[in-house]
Amino acid sequence: MTGATTPTSPQRTEQANSARQVLDDRLARGDIDVEEYERRRTAMDRDFSASTRT
């Protein structure tokens, strides 16, 4: 099956959610601007997505 991925483990999902929460908190505190937030969020989504593929 083309493009198939393995199911995401609960631990992997928790790690992704935790990383996103840290990023969200940094934006809310003003530690990073929206441009930096979006750049990091895109990279993070790509990295977590790639790590769940077989």
Percent of the chain predicted with pLDDT > 90: 44
Q: Are the C-beta atoms of 41 and 22 separated by less than 8 Å?
A: no
Average pLDDT (27-38) is: 98
Flag whether 41 is in a domain: yes
CB 53 within 8 A of CB 6: yes
Q: How far apart are CA 25 and CA 11, in angstroms?
A: 21
Distance CA 35, CA 12 (A): 26
Residue range 12-34: mean pLDDT, rounded: 92
**30, part of any domain:** yes
Tell whether 5 is covered by a domain. no
Q: Is residue 4 part of a domain?
A: no
Say whether pTM exceeds 0.75.
no
Q: Is residue 28 part of a domain?
A: yes
How many domains does the chain fold into? 1
Full domain range(s) for residue 24: 10-51
